[in-house]
Amino acid sequence: MTLEAHVTQGPLTTEAGAPVADNQNSATAGAGGPVLIQDQSLLEKLAHFNRERIPERIVHARGAGAYGTFTLTRDVSQWTRAAFLSEVGKETETFLRFSTVAGNLGSADAVRDPRGFALKFYTEEGNYDLVGNNTPVFFIKDAIKFPDFIHTQKRDPYTGSQEADNVWDFWGLSPESTHQVTWLFGDRGIPATLRHMNGYGSHTYQWNNEAGEVFWVKYHFKTDQGIKNLTQDEANKLAGEDPDSHQRDLREAIERGDFPSWTVQVQIMPEADAATYRFNPFDLTKVWPHADYPPIEIGKLELNRNPENIFAEVEQSIFSPAHFVPGIGPSPDKMLQGRLFAYGDAHRYRVGINADHLPVNRPHATEARTNSRDGYLYDGRHKGAKNYEPNSFGGPSQTDRPLWQGTSVTGVTGSTTAPVHAEDNDFVQAGNLYRLYSEDEKSRLIDNLAGFIAKVSREDIADRAINNFRQADDDFGKRLEAAVQALRG
Ligand code: HEM
């Protein structure tokens, strides 16, 4: 009998395995009398029920996931020594969790919000997590601003709702958000399904090859289904009628064998270019224009298997930007550096110290060999083996080879802004994006922005927000101001 059959068939039992005689009536002192504390099966059933939830993710709470396969289609060994990227045709098992950012666990899928694109590669050198979004850039460029930013997206401490005042106050006072906001309120801000959108690693990461040479890399996952979006009106209707629209669409597509796939591309920058590139290449609010570093196709990602249990495999899944493998590492991007701490900390709080032992999280193509032991729900997998290193009992030992190459640094410690390169400012790429939109796209962008800014209660907050778009492009600012004024009457 399989484990599944053991726990799903046969007589009903208590948690300790004793048969349950009556699952309809709790035990009482005489018919019609009070309930007895000796009714163990009632007590443990109520107690277990009270503990069925774990803390939801502080961001990206609402999500859907699926397993899949990454296949390498191009030799990239000149740039990285990662084993899973070593041989054309090589396949690596993956798990991808999509999410919205601001909504709570039960919120609707069809909303204007970035989508998380968190991808776990189960490689033979350990799990590599690429925790990205469906947007190539982000709102801010320093991790120290993230909790403040998210507070403005989530519920106000007094009203208990998301407030336009808070959202636009923060964005207006954080002009580096202008590029991402111009993206988010454009057509791609509400994808039609999770299958019809791109994914991005967003940050710049380090690749290093056998010879120890360093390259800076950005990842792109281009949907093979084509881009499809919802208008604000379509999304408003769908979110009300079918809050689970994206989750259901993904599951049903995989159930019918219509496996979604993405073409994987990278932009590669030789290490030496970084210092003099026209934009700071580690600034998350900027893209590297394709003309500067053309995307190179390296693989295919396909999703082909649904999780069997949403709680075990999606809710308890953990992804960390700090999960690297040999040949891949972080860049000095200040946002990424903050994220290297934040995720492991969240996992320890949310799922527990042994979260990495769960089937969805543990390595599938190798074993984790660590001397970290015990803690809540430790399953005793190491039996009596020594739990220290170095040891004389054949225990695991260090490799002496770092996963990534060091980077050279200069200067004194202190709270500093990231270096500004020749063409860097907060508005240049937002303006370029605006000018790239067609006339119809521009109109929808203005309508979407104006509809939200018109809800702001204070003129100074609305004016400051509009001024950021004016600095990106004069026409953008003028049209937005007129649209907001028309709505305010
Ligand atoms: C410094 C800035 C950031 C901080 C401090 C931060 C922090 C967090 C935390 C604490 C979680 C919840 C993790 C969990 O409970 O398992 C999370 C989830 C997530 N974040 Fe961030 N985040 C930041 C920026 C970003 C950026 C820039 C991206 C994308 C480029 C991103 C993508 C995601 C995704 C996709 C998830 C959901 C992962 C999953 O599916 O479990 N975050 N973030």
Q: Does 147 map to a domain?
A: no
Q: How many A from CA of 136 to the centre of ligand 1?
A: 15
Q: Can you give the residue range of the structural domain that contains 302?
A: 63-140+191-357
Average pLDDT, the chain: 97
Question: Which mutation among 53, 59, 286 tests ligand 1's pocket best, with the greatest number of atoms within 8 A of CB?
Answer: 59
Q: Whose CA is nearest to atom 30 of ligand 1?
A: 132
Q: Is the pLDDT of residue 63 over 90?
A: yes
Beta-bridge partner residues of 229: 191
Pocket lining: 451 vs ligand 1, CB cutoff 6 Å: no
pLDDT of residue 47: 98
Pocket lining: 205 vs ligand 1, CB cutoff 6 Å: no
Q: How many A from CA of 93 to the centre of ligand 1?
A: 22
Measured from the CA of 335, which atom of ligand 1 is nearest? 1
Pocket lining: 335 vs ligand 1, CB cutoff 6 Å: yes
Q: How far is residue 179's CA from residue 437's CA, in Å, rounded to a whole number?
A: 13
Q: Whose CA is nearest to atom 27 of ligand 1?
A: 138
pLDDT of residue 91: 98
pLDDT of residue 386: 97
Residue 16, CA distances (Å) to 11, 13, 169 in order: 13, 7, 55
Measured from the CA of 65, which atom of ligand 1 is nearest? 40
Q: Is the pLDDT of residue 1 over 60?
A: no
This prediction's pTM: 0.97
Unique residue bearing structure tokens 């949310």: 350
Write the single-letter amino acid at 19: P
Question: Which mutation among 53, 54, 57 tests ligand 1's pocket best, with the greatest number of atoms within 8 A of CB?
Answer: 57
Q: Does 377 map to a domain?
A: no
Q: Does 403 map to a domain?
A: no
- DSSP letter string, 40-77: HHHHHHHHHHHT---PPPSSS-SEEEEEEEEEE-S--T
- Closest by CA to 190, choosing from 119, 254, 135, is 135
Residue 283: band (very low, low, confident or very high) from pLDDT cuts 50, 70, 90: very high
Q: Does 225 map to a domain?
A: yes
Q: Does 119 map to a domain?
A: yes
Residue 204: band (very low, low, confident or very high) from pLDDT cuts 50, 70, 90: very high
Tell me the average pLDDT across 375-384. 96
Collapse the DSSP code of 434 into the 3-class scheme (helix H, G, I; strand E, B; otherwise coil) and give the result.
Answer: helix
Write the single-letter amino acid at 54: I
Residue 8: band (very low, low, confident or very high) from pLDDT cuts 50, 70, 90: confident
Q: Does 277 map to a domain?
A: yes
343 carries a ligand binding annotation: yes
Pocket lining: 133 vs ligand 1, CB cutoff 6 Å: yes
Active site residues: 60, 133
Q: Is the dihedral of CA 29, 35, 38, 41 positive or negative?
A: positive
pLDDT digit string, tens, across residues 214-226: 999 999 999 999 9
- DSSP letter string, 135-185: SSS-S-S-GGGHHHHHHHHS--TTTSS--HHHHHHHHHH-GGGHHHHHHHT
323: CATH: 2.40.180.10
Q: Does 351 map to a domain?
A: yes
Pocket lining: 348 vs ligand 1, CB cutoff 6 Å: no
- Residue 35 has what DSSP assignment? B
pLDDT digit string, tens, across residues 316-361: 999 999 999 999 999 999 999 999 999 999 999 999 999 999 999 9
Residue 301: band (very low, low, confident or very high) from pLDDT cuts 50, 70, 90: very high
Beta-bridge partner residues of 99: 63, 116
- On whether the CB atoms of residues 239 and 106 are closer than 8 A, the answer is no
Q: How far is residue 36's CA from residue 29's CA, in Å, rounded to a whole number?
A: 6
Q: Does 446 map to a domain?
A: no
Q: How many A from CA of 343 to the centre of ligand 1?
A: 7
- On whether the CB atoms of residues 16 and 3 are closer than 8 A, the answer is no
Residue 3: band (very low, low, confident or very high) from pLDDT cuts 50, 70, 90: low
Tell me the average pLDDT across 379-405. 97
Measured from the CA of 116, which atom of ligand 1 is nearest? 35
Domain count, the chain: 1
- Would you say how long the chain is, in residues? 489
Residue predicted with more confidence, 137 or 8 = 137
- The distance of Cα 400 from the centroid of its chain, to the nearest Å, equals 31
Unique residue bearing structure tokens 């042994």: 354
Q: How far is residue 118's CA from residue 116's CA, in Å, rounded to a whole number?
A: 6
